[in-house]
Chain A
Amino acid sequence: MSTAYDVAILGAGIVGAACALECASRGLRTVVTEGRGVGSGATAAGMGHIVVMDDSEAQLALTRYSQTLWHALAARLPDEVEFDRCGTLWVAADEEEMQEVRRKQAVYVAAGVAAEILGARGLEEAEPHLRRPMAGALLVPGDAVLYPPCTAAWLLQEARRMGAEFVAESAVGAVAGGVLLSGGSELQAAHIVIACGADSTDLLPALPIRKRKGHLVITDRYPGMVRHQLVELGYLKSAHSLTADSVAFNVQPRRTGQLLIGSSRQFGDESREVDHGILARMLQRAEEYLPEIGGCSAIRVWTGFRAATPDKLPLIGPWPDDESLMLATGHEGLGITTSLGTGRLVADLLTGTVPEIAADAYRPGRFLSGAGTEPEVARGGMGA
């Protein structure tokens, strides 16, 4: 069979959809396969936070790059994407955490990301419903929130408008330029991009990806109660427990006035069931920061699975064992943010274009022979 497509993208979560739009925009003959519904995996389970993070230089580079891409795209996003540049407040509970605020601000500003330190009073004015006293916060005004499933659907729609094709079937096999679909037919493509999130290991069991379960709660509408995406800086103090189950305060205001409450992280639990013990811990943590949240009505609780890598960086680039395979997975809690940057890098790699940011840190080959040190699990992280 002749090669029908330049690129087959497996998975239409927000990462696959972003890859599809970039590839189609550059004139590549593109096909996307997705059997479970566009944006139905971690894309639908997550919060939808566009956030710059600095756990590592490479993470900062990709999140910052992606944030600028979102800003550039914002004017084109349709209303249902609910893009809202509300900014992030990294909340410091005490003076020790204020030191982290100052460190973080210096790093962000050096990277060209606007970041402003708020003292206790400034934070009270910005978020009157936070528990008092808090020491202050770091405001990152360029951060935003959006509604990920609609965003993925729009990105895919734009990709199709640019000529990409869509097949509503799951890929059950991918090797040497051939994709076997769940319906039994096959696709041929010069390159295959695996963008199946935490399920990517179904296609490539050797991938260094583990499922990291998360819980989210959404409340009824309480307009004005929270104005920014709120995240605690307190993970510094609980860093020792990060190999075990952990929770962190993370609340997001939706345009409807609803509040999304996170977050939890669990390795080793691959059931979709709500874990009421960790859910209770997560809500108690939220109440420690937002005392009134205990009186709010929750209308839904759900779980999802982040695709976690050992060094908390995604897998973007060729898979060394099969030169037809390209990976775009392993984004853990940052896939919504970094989807656009990932799409750019994938398309750059496929077309031989020099990327706008160095892509070496994300290459999947770093986990294979000669890759060097054993990656450690970094701190906190966020998102859902």
Chain B
Amino acid sequence: MPEVVTISVNGQPFVVPAGTTVAAAMLRAGGTTRTSVSGEMRAPLCGMGICFECRAVIGGKPHERTCQIVCEPGMDVWST
């Protein structure tokens, strides 16, 4: 297993240690995961797939819970 993986966060390449969740990668990249219906910035809260605050678009698929998904090389992640 490689020591690091490179993913794309909002169109920018980003390198994280192997085994990092997408939620952690997005936090390390300095961004939030999504914007709520009322315009509030949101970020991961529970870290265990319950709160749904960490949802983002992964590989074109919306509403993915990023705290439950480990980064894979070339993964394309967008906050919403």
A222 to B37, Cβ gap below 8 A?
no
Q: How far is the CA of A289 from the CA of B22 in the complex (A)?
A: 32
Q: How far is the CA of A220 from the CA of B61 in the complex (A)?
A: 12
B17 part of interface (Cβ distance < 8 Å): no
Contact with A along B38-80 (1 / 0, CB 8 A): 0000000000000000000000011100000000000000000
Contact with B along A282-303 (1 / 0, CB 8 A): 0000000000000111000000
B61 to A295, Cβ gap below 8 A?
yes
A373 part of interface (Cβ distance < 8 Å): no
Q: How far is the CB of B12 from chain A (nearest CB, A)?
A: 25
Interface of B is mostly: strand
Within 8 A of B (CB), among A202-233: 220-222
Within 8 A of B (CB), among A302-354: none
Q: How far is the CA of A136 from the CA of B37 in the complex (A)?
A: 35
Q: How far is the CB of B42 from chain A (nearest CB, A)?
A: 14
Chain A contacts of B37 at CB under 8 A? Answer: 221, 256
* Interface residue count on the A side (C-beta < 8 Å): 7
Q: How far is the CA of A295 from the CA of B62 in the complex (A)?
A: 9
Chain B contacts of A295 at CB under 8 A? Answer: 61
Residue of A at shortest CB range from B65? A297
Within 8 A of A (CB), among B1-57: 37
Residue of A at shortest CB range from B64? A297
Chain B contacts of A222 at CB under 8 A? Answer: 62-63
Q: How far is the CB of B73 from chain A (nearest CB, A)?
A: 23
Q: How far is the CA of A221 from the CA of B37 in the complex (A)?
A: 10
Q: How far is the CB of A341 from chain B (nearest CB, A)?
A: 34
Q: How far is the CB of A349 from chain B (nearest CB, A)?
A: 44
Q: How far is the CB of A43 from chain B (nearest CB, A)?
A: 24
Q: How far is the CA of A222 from the CA of B37 in the complex (A)?
A: 13
Q: How far is the CA of A166 from the CA of B58 in the complex (A)?
A: 51
Q: A221-B37, A222-B62 are in contact. List 9 more A-B contacts (CB 8 A).
A: A220-B62, A220-B63, A221-B62, A221-B63, A222-B63, A256-B37, A295-B61, A296-B63, A297-B63
B interface list, Cβ under 8 A from A:
37, 61-63
Give 9 closest A-B pairs by Cβ, nearest first: A220-B63, A297-B63, A222-B62, A295-B61, A256-B37, A220-B62, A221-B63, A296-B63, A221-B62
